[in-house]
Chain A
Amino acid sequence: MKSVEQKISSGNVLEVKDLKTYFFTGRGVVKAVDGVSFELKEGETLGLVGESGCGKTITCLSILRLVPGPAGRIVGGEVILDGDDLLSKSEKAMRRIRGKKVSMILQDPMVSLNPVFTIGNQMAEPVRIHQKLSRRLVWEKVKEMLRLMSIPSPEIRIREYPHQMSGGMRQRVVGGIALSCQPRLLIADEPTTSLDVTIQAQYLRLLKEVQQKENLAMIMVTHDLGIVAKVCDRVAVMYAGKIVECGDVREIFYRPAHPYTKALLGSLPKMEERQEKLYTIEGQPPELHALPPGCSFAPRCPDVQEICKQEYPPQSIIKDGHCTSCWLFAARKA
């Protein structure tokens, strides 16, 4: 009962609250995800951006409770999907949820495809598990998915093995599998990294179409801001395991607040302008097992102040739905 009420009142498909996932390693505790919160509505796309190693993939894997153990553990927080807390579910219940209510497109398509089974068999599997359909209907559904992902002659393709397809086709097959059970939430982790420009554009358009048709909520993980500009409604910028800024895509692009977001946008070469030099962020991202006290960005920040090195900044609301954790804004309010 409670969950139904919640669903109606918040309209959120997903709510992640203060999520913490740590790796307990020989080097120390790696705080890969350290207090991440965000929410996602039906039909909405959230872009999760940030440098390599900042915790994007681990955030997604935590939602599905697929954090690589035994070193990795979710140590705190809540993941609420349609009103249900996933972190308190049994493993058996989680298995029913994965691939049905929540689907994930993994970073590397070759990892998700098994080389010894045909494309058809691999696409049919989740359909068989989650929907009680006759054999014939399952195959019809698989062909429909291939057609939907713009793969020509699906009758022939379902009998092929992954190595017989081009990289771009494989990525679309993985996308097809992820969408085949009409999930509520789709998590796409760098789905187009190995594609060239034209095929990438085609793939993104397809994802968007399916999303609109099914009213899917989607998390798009990427470090390419161009992809964010093209497909996302909202953006969460991650740095060293924390979300440092979150807001509407236009707010983030046109009125970025956090110095890291500004730097990220500034270091992008632009097609329409002629710049001699690009803006750069000096230095390296910090090691997650030895974070500096205070703001993690402080050692590289052009606007660093004394307090930044001592205490982590609180979250400030810039405008409805646009938040940042940075002393520059906390100070202004105080």
Chain B
Amino acid sequence: MGEILVEARDVKKYFPVNRGVIVLKHLGDIKAVDGVSFTIGKGETFGLVGESGCGKTTTARLILLLETLTGGTIFFDGKDTSELSGPELRKYRASVQAVFQDPYSSLSPRMRVGTIIAEPVVIGGAISTNGIKDRIAQVIKMVGLRRDAMELYPHEFSGGQRQRIAIARALASNPKLIILDEPVSALDVSIRAQIMNLLYDIQQKLGVSYLLIAHNLAVVKHMSKVTGVMYMGKLVEVVESQELYLHPLHPYTQALLSAALPSHPDEQREEIVLPGEVSTPFNPPPGCRLYRRCLYARPVCSEQDPPLKEVSSGHFVACHLH
């Protein structure tokens, strides 16, 4: 890996669950993200996969400073993001942008496309009105929209075009990191491919880093150099995407990959079914989070939380078997 842009170190986010009217009683915590560490290289894509509710979006929101950390540190370009303030904080906000799943609700319907795209540039400050105009024209061209698009409203565009608008907006402030949270899952197959190619071209040209979150494993594999697999607030496996698909080590990763849909009718894959219901991250018991559903669980798994460790060069797994 080359230079590091983002480093998350033991990052935690707990949502307290309280009950009561006058005196709040603390019943426990939803441990949405519970001690996650990873790095994202400059100009590279880090993919994040895992069951619904395992904490992927919360991780992204922590990096975007939309949530406050319960514990741990996020470094960006070597600086602790919790210590940023004033112009440095403004600069950080401009450097980290996001594109979300739903191209229909993520763009404000009352604003013209030009205004929507300009917003992050304006927030970042230090650029003239003419400079902003030029910049908008530039990114609109980059994402393949017509020049007059900036005068229109979002409802005048199709889903795929709206996602282009969202990408243009994310690009406008010249960011170093773009968080892509399910960027193509609401789109049709053919439009999906257009957007994925566009994101690829942009990265080649600008050297921007991506944090890519997706349910579709083929999409993540296609786009990211390194993939992290999350299960109930924990990263359970991190390795180069190619290696992950060839040699998954964690029992959850193996089950996840075995459930992926085939790409042709004769693709034979032994499906590994995890027994039991999906568990919740509310007051999780000690030990490995997969313990009650794991096919290989041993006594130690219910007692000790397995740490994420490097089992072979660049291959990290959190499992007592390895």
Contact = CB atoms under 8 A, between A and B. Distances in A.
Nearest to B264: A253
Contact of A275 (B188, B222, B242, B267): B222
Interface size of A as a range? 35 or more
Interface stretch (B8-16, B20-28, B112-120, B272-280): B272-280
Interface in B214-267: 215-219, 221-222, 242, 245, 255-256, 258-267
B105 to A, nearest CB: 16
Given A198-B274, A225-B189, A280 B259 contact: no
B209 to A, nearest CB: 18
A22 B215 CA distance: 36
Interface in A135-171: 152, 166-168
A225 B193 CA distance: 14
Greatest chain B CB density within 10 A among A168, A201, A225 is at A201
Greatest chain B CB density within 10 A among A152, A197, A223 is at A197
B196 interface: yes
B161 to A, nearest CB: 8
Given A51-B188, A196-B51, A268 B278 contact: no
Contacts of A269: 193, 196, 218-219, 221-222
Given A202-B273, A250-B266, A274-B242, A197 B260 contact: yes
Contacts, number: 109
Nearest to B160: A284
Interface string A265-290: 00111111011111111101000000
A39 interface: no
Interface of B: 51-52, 158-160, 188-190, 192-194, 196-197, 200, 215-219, 221-222, 242, 245, 255-256, 258-267, 271, 273-274, 277-278
A88 B80 CA distance: 72
A272 to B, nearest CB: 7
A219 B193 CA distance: 26
Interface stretch (A60-68, A74-82, A90-98, A226-234): A226-234
Interface of A: 51-52, 152, 166-168, 196-202, 205, 223-227, 229-230, 249-250, 253-254, 263-264, 267-272, 274-282, 284
B190 A226 contact: no
B192 A271 contact: no
Nearest to B215: A196
A67 B192 CA distance: 30
A285 to B, nearest CB: 8
Contacts of B196: 269, 278
Contact of A280 (B193, B215, B219, B273): B193
B281 to A, nearest CB: 14
